[in-house]
């Protein structure tokens, strides 16, 4: 049986609790459906007074298709395209769908832009640590040193005909840090093509806003406080037709000997990132980019992460640091409302 992770989605300033039901009555509020996909609760809420009845189902069907092609969860899938690529590492290229080839290619592109802070070839390290699984542990330093040479996005090859090749046995790709963003973008595309003008997509914290709220005002999106309490908000920001994605050391972790080890691994060290950030939130025109960037800048840290964000037109970021200060990129100056009394908004 799949292990369901229950969560509270802080999507609006007045925190919304999404139930696992379908609400289609226009008298009772938005049409909302939640399914367990991509390892989390995924919710689509449509606020239009009328829209094609199958639009939400078509969006979820598309998300399921993406998951079935790209998951590396062997407890749920005997075989997926990414599992097949990893099993053939050092042996032969594997032909994949346009979807998988695109996501892997985008993963390589974002890895290059972040100088490897985001790296889809990190699967061997993810497997070694096992964070979020029953076998999570702190690997011995020699184990990490032995695994690190297998992590190098430059060695991932996407060849003509959508063939992906990993040149060394033991290598593996994990698109979990970008495939969810792609799924969000695809769901948004389907809803827009159905003529929907006011909708909110929340896939376990990867949020996309379609249009404005019904009253014409921007969506007020809550940024989670970098603690393990999902109801608490750090800040709120108003957005329209944009994606917003957060990464933080509060998402998945375990403790050993009084030390907390979180799931965002630094490809350069093989250890959970210690960049001085507790969370990084990225806002942008697409979720696939925001997804990859939120991980990348978290690993890069405040200075390098902010420099990267400022170099990318259309993307903005909110950073929370271990000394409880909040920094925002230039395009968000004056647009972020700090809610957490235990943090301070840094000067621009």
Write the burial class of residue 160 (CB in 10 Å: 0-12 exposed, 13-18 middle, 19+ buried). exposed
Query: Could you identify the residue written with the tokens 């806002």?
Result: 283
Nearest to 185 by CA among 114, 285, 76: 285
Assess contact for 31 and 45: CB atoms under 8 A: yes
The number of angstroms, rounded, from the C-alpha of 132 to the middle of its chain's C-alpha atoms is 16
Residues in the chain where the model's pLDDT stays below 70: 1-28, 228-230, 348
Assess contact for 120 and 152: CB atoms under 8 A: no
What is the structure's pLDDT at 18?
Answer: 29
Rounded to whole angstroms, how far apart are CA atoms 43 and 37?
Answer: 10
Give the number of C-alpha atoms closer than 13 A to the C-alpha of residue 38, restricted to the C-beta side: 27
Task: Tell me the Cα Rg of the chain.
Answer: 20
Write the burial class of residue 287 (CB in 10 Å: 0-12 exposed, 13-18 middle, 19+ buried). buried
Query: Could you identify the residue written with the tokens 């379609």?
Result: 210
Taking only the tens place, the pLDDT of each residue in 104-152 is: 999 999 999 999 999 999 999 999 998 888 889 999 999 999 999 999 9
Taking only the tens place, the pLDDT of each residue in 272-303 is: 999 999 999 999 999 999 999 999 999 999 99
Strands 325-328 and 344-345: parallel
What is the structure's pLDDT at 291?
Answer: 97
What domains can be seen in the chain, in order of their start residue?
A: 77-176 (1.10.3980.10)
What is the structure's pLDDT at 129?
Answer: 93
pTM of the model: 0.89
Write the burial class of residue 284 (CB in 10 Å: 0-12 exposed, 13-18 middle, 19+ buried). buried
Sign, Cα dihedral of 98, 101, 104, 108: negative
Q: Tell me how far CA of residue 244 lies from CA of 80, 99, 154, 296, in angstroms.
A: 28, 22, 28, 15
What is the structure's pLDDT at 265?
Answer: 96
Rounded to whole angstroms, how far apart are CA atoms 299 and 117?
Answer: 6
Which secondary structure element, helix H or strand E, spans residue 233, and what is its range?
strand 233-239
């Amino acid at each position: 049986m799949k292990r369901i992770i229950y969560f509270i989605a802080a999507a609006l300033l007045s925190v919304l609790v999404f139930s696992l039901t379908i609400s289609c009555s226009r008298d009772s509020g938005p049409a909302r459906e939640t399914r367990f996909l991509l390892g989390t609760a995924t919710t689509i809420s449509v606020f239009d007074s009328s829209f094609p009845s199958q639009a939400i189902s078509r969006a979820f069907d598309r998300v399921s298709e993406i998951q079935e092609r790209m998951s590396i969860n062997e407890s749920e899938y005997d075989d997926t395209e990414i599992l097949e690529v990893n099993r053939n590492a050092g042996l032969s290229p594997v032909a994949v769908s346009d979807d998988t080839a695109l996501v892997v290619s985008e993963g390589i592109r974002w890895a290059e832009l972040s100088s490897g802070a985001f790296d889809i070839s990190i699967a061997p390290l993810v497997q070694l640590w096992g964070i979020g699984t029953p076998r999570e542990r702190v690997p011995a330093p020699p184990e990490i040193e032995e695994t690190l040479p297998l992590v190098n996005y430059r060695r991932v090859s996407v060849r003509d005909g959508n063939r992906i090749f990993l040149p060394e046995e033991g290598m593996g790709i994990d698109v979990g840090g970008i495939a969810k963003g792609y799924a969000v973008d695809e769901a948004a595309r389907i809803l827009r093509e159905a003529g929907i003008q006011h909708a909110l997509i929340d896939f376990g914290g990867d949020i996309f806003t379609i249009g404005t709220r019904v009253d014409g005002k921007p969506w007020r999106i809550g940024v989670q406080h970098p603690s393990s309490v999902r109801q608490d908000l750090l800040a709120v920001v108003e957005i329209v037709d944009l994606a917003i994605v957060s990464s933080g050391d509060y998402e998945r972790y375990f403790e050993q000997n009084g030390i907390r080890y979180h799931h965002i691994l630094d490809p350069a060290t093989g250890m959970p990132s210690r960049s001085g950030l507790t969370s990084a939130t990225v806002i942008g025109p697409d979720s696939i980019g925001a997804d990859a960037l939120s991980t990348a800048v978290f690993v890069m840290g405040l200075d390098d992460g902010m420099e990267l964000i400022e170099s990318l037109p259309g993307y903005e970021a909110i950073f929370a640091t271990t000394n409880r200060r909040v920094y925002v990129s230039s395009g968000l100056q004056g647009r972020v409302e700090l809610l957490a009394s235990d943090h301070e908004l840094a000067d621009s």
